[in-house]
Amino acid sequence: MPDLSDISWFKNEFAARIATALANTPFSVDFITALACQETGLVWSVLRRRPELSTAEILALCVGDTVERGRRAFPQSKAALLAHPDGAAMFAQARAALVALARYLPAYQKVAQQPAKFCHGFGIFQRDLQHFERDPAYFLERHYADFDLALTQALAVLQAALRRLGWQHKTRLTDDEQAAVAIVYNSGRYVPRLGLRQGWFDGQRYYGELIFDFLRRAHTLSDPTNPPSLAPPQNGNAALPAPSPAAATGRHYRVAPTTAWLNLRREPRIDDAHPQRNVLARLPAGQWVQALSAVPRNGFLEIEVLLSGARYHGFAARNFLRPAPAPADLATSAPLAGIPAAQLPAPADGGTSRGALAGPFSLNEPGQPGRVGDSPARLRDSLAAIVAWLAVDNPAHARYAPRAGASLAAVYAHDYCHLAGVYLPRVWWTAEALVRLKNGEVPAPSAGLTVTEVSVNGLFCWLREFGPDFGWRRTSSLDKLQQEVNQGAVGLLIAHREETGRDGQMVVIVPESATQGARRDATGVVTAPLESGAGRVNYRARVAPRLVDTADV
């Protein structure tokens, strides 16, 4: 597959021409880049490294698809092609293209030795030979080797896909929407409930998922027309988009101090039988919010609110909102400079392993895996390797063996994050130690004296107060959570339990695989992500039967 240097080559070579062609369309240069990566990236990423080949020669060699078994479109075989009036000339050209490509790509050498084999896909965007009957000149006159002509042809198909989706009047498309258009480009249809998991399947990922991966990677690279739209991540980290921009322009309010928490609801109503069912989040007293509408509905005001970096849109009871002046900056929080990570050094009597009961120490077994790579595929593989290595469901791993009084969900989440290179505390500073740190002292981590083990409820509070300073960001959407995890990010789902003496709930969200995926509704939005966790039942990956309605997630 094309790497970052290949994607950069493509953008530098063609971005200016693409940008001109995209005028008055909702598509982006990065989307066309992703399409080219998916369609023929395996070819041109190899050819561009051959110094004897010019760009024009590379474009002429962007051919492929020799599979005939199960093919329904014309031509199903050599005989079907030869039966066309211009079929002999087309076969000769398609056969010669295959032989020429095989000189540079060993993967095609074996098939090129079969005299009846020929290419069905032509051009950097792979126009299929099924269109030969209607447009023979495109193939016989090698229009596909001209980048501008090939792009014009691809854009015509993409515009038709827009019309099929009912989006022909859109002037801008999200990444998800562009991926949906690409799925139609590939397969001719789009089923919303399947999300990106549709189109051609390579045995591991679907066409929509592959396009999205390339699109996200293209965002991290500049080209002659634009700077990168996403900050390039360090090796072993995922490229994350910026938080959603604000939509509200109305009056500012603060949650009244007469209530400890105010429920933010999905709709302007309360279900008497299930009063917590449509709760999106709980807003603390004093929380700033901004109205999206000036007129209450059923006693609820439509508002937008920023919580730990996540922007929520919902409805809150108007009687518990007080008009307030606009804050100086809703998007930032006060930095907590000088509060370092808390971690106990390895015990003097040896390492900490999965085979021993959990204590306050982090795992330090020889050969333990980590999160590595600069592509979504490698990052996903790394995270899958961590889950497999931790083997939370292995009875031999006493560290995760269910037992009374142990916050195993917190232990497992810490271990996963620790191996993935993300800080989630196993122990955290005591209140006294935090005061000393804020006064400039640096106390040594000592179990029971300056640090204590952290439960799920403790981690919930820690993520709110300290998480942003250690790179954690809240999201208001399970769909976004699963999407970013699929890109190789580390994700958690955590709920605080209010009952005294009872710990909260916490799971790690893991990337979807060829065999396991999240649950989605009819529109393709994730309603239950793919999770991994420890507790009364330990599991590597599953979709929960239902989400807890009464928790503040």
Tell me the C-alpha distance between 354 and 346, whole Å: 14
What distance in Å separates the CA atoms of residue 496 and residue 462, rounded to the nearest whole number?
11
For residue range 293-327, what is the model confidence (pLDDT) as tens digits? 999 999 999 999 988 778 899 999 999 999 999 88
* Domain ranges (residues) in the chain: 4-219, 252-323, 376-543
Residues 370/382, Cβ–Cβ less than 8 Å: yes
- ∠ at Cα 490 (484, 491), nearest 5°? 75
The residue count for the chain: 553
Q: Domain 252-323: give its CATH code.
A: 2.30.30.40
pLDDT digit string, tens, across residues 185-227: 999 999 999 999 999 999 999 999 999 999 999 999 999 989 9
CA angle 88, 92, 97 (to 5 degrees): 145
What whole-number distance in Å separates Cα of residue 102 and Cα of residue 113?
A: 9
Question: 111: closest CA among 64, 48, 73?
Answer: 64
pLDDT by residue for the chain (553 residues), tens digit each? 899 999 999 999 999 999 999 999 999 999 999 999 999 999 999 999 999 999 999 999 999 999 888 888 999 999 999 999 999 999 999 999 999 999 999 999 999 999 999 999 999 999 999 999 999 999 999 999 999 999 999 999 999 999 999 999 999 999 999 999 999 999 999 999 999 999 999 999 999 999 999 999 999 999 998 999 999 999 999 999 988 788 888 999 999 988 788 999 999 999 988 888 899 998 999 999 999 999 999 999 999 998 877 889 999 999 999 999 988 654 444 445 569 999 999 887 778 999 999 999 999 999 999 999 999 999 999 999 999 999 999 999 999 998 876 789 999 999 999 999 999 999 999 999 999 999 999 999 999 999 999 999 999 999 989 999 999 999 989 999 999 999 999 999 999 887 766 889 999 999 999 999 999 999 999 999 999 999 999 999 999 875 443 333 3
Contact present, 377 and 41 (Cβ < 8 Å): no
Distance CA 119, CA 129 (A): 8
pLDDT in tens, 234-244: 999 999 998 87
> Which residues, in sequence order, are CB contacts of 94 under 8 Å at separation 6+?
63, 81, 118, 119, 120, 122, 129, 139
Paired residues of 253 in beta bridges? 289, 323
Helix (H, G, I), strand (E, B) or coil at 503: coil
Tokens found for residue 252: 């500012």
Of 544, 551, 550, the C-alpha closest to 518 is: 544
Q: Give residue for tokens 């307030």.
A: 324
Cis preceding-peptide flag for 75 (omega within 30 of 0): yes
Distance of CA 395 to the CA centre of its chain: 32
Instruction: Please answer whether residues 366 and 352 qualify as being in contact, where contact means their C-beta atoms are separated by less than 8 angstroms.
Output: no
